[in-house]
């Protein structure tokens, strides 16, 4: 019988919530490459600083990014380097199975 620890489920659900928004995905991918300042991230992603700030707060609350004081500025980076590897692994795994989408509701918001 398969036993799932509730803590493991919560960790994966938290990661899934973070990835459920394309802007947050773009932020995580950008931070995978290098730490960045909010103004630079907003410019690179083509979004307002306010919108970016809201997404960074979500990613901080999920424990995926950290804010590092740097003089009068704050730099953001992935909370752990393994997250960058996890993003790469997840992306390549999804691409590998993308041609075999078996979800019957794949074209709706209810699935995939």
Judge whether 55 and 27 are in contact, CB under 8 Å.
yes
Domain spans of the chain, in order of start: 14-97
Could you tell me the fold of the domain covering 14-97? Arc Repressor Mutant, subunit A (1.10.10)
Bridge-based pairing state of the strands 65-70 and 73-78: antiparallel
Q: Whole-model pTM? A: 0.80
Q: Report residue 71 as tokens.
A: 């003089």
Give the tens place of pLDDT for each residue, 47-82: 999 999 999 999 999 999 999 999 999 999 999 999
Q: Kindly tell me if the per-residue pLDDT of 111 is higher than 90.
A: no
């Amino acid at each position: 019988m398969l036993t799932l620890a509730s803590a493991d489920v919560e960790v994966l659900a938290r990661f899934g919530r973070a990835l459920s928004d394309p802007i947050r995905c773009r932020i995580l991918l950008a931070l995978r490459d290098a730490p960045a300042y909010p103004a630079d991230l907003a410019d690179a992603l083509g979004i307002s600083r306010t919108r970016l700030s809201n997404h960074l707060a979500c990613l901080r609350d999920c424990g995926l990014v950290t804010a590092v004081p740097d003089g009068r500025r704050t730099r953001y980076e992935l909370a752990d380097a393994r997250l960058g590897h996890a993003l790469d692994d997840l992306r390549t795994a999804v691409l590998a199975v993308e041609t075999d989408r078996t979800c019957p509701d794949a074209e709706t918001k209810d699935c995939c």
